[in-house]
Amino acid sequence: MDPECGTRPAYYRSPLRIMGGDDVKPGTYPWMVSLHGGRNQVFFCGATIIHEQWVMTAGHCVGEGDTTNLTYWTIKTGNTRRIAYSKHLQVRKPLAIIKHPAFSIKTVENDVALIKLDKPLAMNDFVRPICLPEMQPETGTRCYAVGWGKNSEKALFYESNLKQVPVDVTNWDYCKHATSNNEHFSGVPFNLTQTMFCAGGSSLHDACQGDSGGPLLCRKENTTDEWYQGGIVSWGVVCGTPNTPGVYTRLILYTNWIHETIANNTGP
User: Residues of 76-99 as b/e, b for ≥16 C-beta within 10 angstroms?
Assistant: bbbbbbbeeeeebebebebeebbb
Degrees (nearest 5) of the Cα angle 237, 243, 245?
Answer: 50
Q: Are 140 and 201 in contact (CB under 8 A)?
A: no
Whether residue 66 lies in the annotated active site: no
CA nearest 246: which of 203, 216, 201? 201
Whether residue 206 lies in the annotated active site: no
22, 51, 60, 100: which is the annotated catalytic residue? Answer: 60
The three-state secondary structure class of 206 is strand
Q: Is the dihedral of CA 94, 45, 218, 251 positive or negative?
A: negative
Query: CA 199 to CA 19: how far, in whole Å?
Result: 14
Query: CA 72 to CA 115: how far, in whole Å?
Result: 13
111, 206, 211, 234: which is the annotated catalytic residue? Answer: 111
Whether residue 88 lies in the annotated active site: no
Degrees (nearest 5) of the Cα angle 76, 24, 99?
Answer: 40
Phi then psi for 256, rounded to 5 degrees? -65, -45
Query: CA 79 to CA 3: how far, in whole Å?
Result: 18
Q: Which residues are catalytic?
A: 60, 111, 212
